[in-house]
Amino acid sequence: MTTKVCKGCSNNVIVKRDEMNHILSKIDIDDNQIVSDEEYANRLNTCNSCESFMYGSTCAHSGCLVEFRAKFSNKLCPSPSGSRW
């Protein structure tokens, strides 16, 4: 049985932390493309307290996995009222 890494291809919209870590481990990321651990934690805290945070993993505005999006320095919060981080 293969592990699906695209939540759009999965029967379950909830992505657990170990699944997210697996997804992130499969990507070759240059260190200057990611935010610091402190910034990452701040971004995730902001998302966790947002009313648009769904299923413990997903942004209602973009459908993105917030733990993935928050890692990258060139990404912004997709809130229509403006980025919150």
Tens of pLDDT, residues 2-60: 444 444 555 566 777 788 778 777 777 788 889 999 999 999 999 999 999 998 889 99
What pLDDT shows up at residue 9?
Answer: 53
What confidence score (pLDDT) does residue 13 get? 65
- Is residue 81 assigned to a domain? yes
CA distances from 27 to 61, 74, 82, 83 (A): 24, 16, 28, 25
Domain with 58, as residue range(s), is 15-85
Q: Specify if 9 maps to a domain.
A: no
pLDDT at site 47:
96
Q: Residue 69 in 3-state DSSP?
A: helix
Give the number of domains in the chain: 1
* H or E element in which residue 21 lies: helix 17-25
Domain assignment present for 3: no
Q: Are the CB atoms for 85 and 69 separated by under 8 Å?
A: no
